[in-house]
């Protein structure tokens, strides 16, 4: 090694030695004396349920399906940690709406597996936390066009999802089947039940996606309720927090949202983050519809 290179390296080594004395939190931290990162088989919970409806854990096929989803979500650590962090931010609002609408609290986990608690758009065009299709959203009262898309409005979309789930429960007879119908459609699930002459989800022979659907929900629920059992260690301050907001109502158009943002003493980025349903830099409102715009409140 050249002498000049050694002089460059020595300060770096000094920093490394100094840093090594600090207790770092690491995703790969292990108490094993050999220092190996290990992957363990999981102990399945003795009982699981969804919306108060118990799942039989005596059947080997059901155990395997649950085990698969627990393994996938436990060992996709980065994704699961993100979900745990986001849940702290978004669950309180979702839980409140579910309670107001008479929907079991467990349905918040359906939103998790649908979107990862993010305003995403699927290749088929389903959008928002609840992955609502354009036609379905319009049929159930949401405004969906090139200027406004209320599928990205968390409260409105959650209430529309609740309407669908209540109809599915009334038609199919159980909350589990209602959840499955959210993936496969009410008529699709009803047809399967009739053809196969059974009356519950766990006895149905289904395609891969719908067959996994409820077990993905059950696995996410189990991990989120008992994160330490699955190796997820965090402090309260590690979780994402909701931003305090106030709502400004209006029934007129906004010609320039960037200018409007400045008038509200925030920047355009903050406006878009808190109102993702506003798609463009203006709000058309020829019909004089009443809108409420979320404005972040300074601490």
Q: pLDDT tens digits, residue range 96-112?
A: 999 999 999 999 999 99
Q: How confident is the model at residue 163 (pLDDT cuts 50, 70, 90)?
A: very high
Contacts of 71 (CB under 8 A, 6+ apart): 42
**Across 257-267, average pLDDT:** 95
Question: 24 pLDDT exceeds 90?
Answer: no
Please determine, for residue 210, whether its predicted confidence score (pLDDT) is greater than 70: yes
Q: Which of helix, strand or coil describes residue 38?
A: coil
pLDDT at 250 over 80: yes
Hey, what's the torsion of the CAs at 149, 154, 160, 161, to 10 degrees?
120
Q: What is the DSSP letter of 43?
A: P
Q: Quick check: 140 pLDDT over 80? A: yes
pLDDT score of 299? 64
Structure tokens of 42?
Answer: 């999981």
Question: Are 157 and 128 contacting, i.e. CB atoms less than 8 angstroms apart?
Answer: yes
- How far CA 286 is from CA of 7, 69, 255, 257, in Å, comes to 71, 48, 12, 16
pLDDT higher than threshold 90 for residue 25: no
Residue 18 above 90 pLDDT? no
């Amino acid at each position: 090694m050249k002498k000049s290179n050694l002089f460059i390296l020595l300060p770096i080594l000094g920093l490394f030695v100094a840093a090594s004395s600090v207790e770092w939190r690491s995703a790969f931290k292990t108490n094993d004396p050999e220092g190996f990162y290990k992957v363990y088989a999981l102990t399945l919970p003795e009982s699981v349920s969804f919306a108060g409806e118990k799942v039989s854990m005596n059947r080997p096929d059901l155990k395997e399906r649950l085990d698969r989803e627990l393994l996938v979500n436990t060992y996709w650590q980065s994704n699961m940690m993100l979900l745990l962090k986001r849940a702290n931010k978004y669950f309180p609002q979702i839980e409140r709406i579910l309670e107001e609408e008479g929907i079991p609290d467990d349905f918040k986990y359906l939103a998790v597996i649908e979107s990862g608690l993010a305003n995403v758009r699927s290749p088929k065009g389903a959008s928002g936390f609840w992955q609502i299709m354009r036609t379905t959203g319009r049929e159930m009262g949401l405004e969906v066009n090139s200027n406004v898309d209320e599928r990205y409005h968390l409260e409105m979309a959650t209430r529309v999802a609740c309407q669908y789930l209540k109809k599915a429960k009334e038609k199919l007879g159980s909350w589990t089947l209602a959840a499955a119908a959210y993936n496969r459609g009410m008529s699709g699930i009803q047809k399967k039940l009739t053809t196969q002459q059974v009356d519950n989800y766990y006895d149905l022979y289904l395609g891969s996606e719908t067959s996994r659907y409820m077990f993905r929900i059950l696995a996410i629920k189990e991990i989120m309720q008992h994160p330490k059992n699955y190796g997820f260690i965090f402090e309260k301050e590690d979780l994402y927090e909701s931003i305090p907001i106030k709502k400004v109502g209006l029934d007129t158009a906004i010609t320039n949202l960037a200018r409007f943002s400045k008038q509200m003493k925030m920047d355009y980025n903050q406006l878009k983050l808190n109102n993702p349903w506003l798609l463009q830099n203006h709000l058309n409102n020829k019909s004089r519809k009443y809108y409420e715009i979320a404005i972040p409140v300074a601490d």
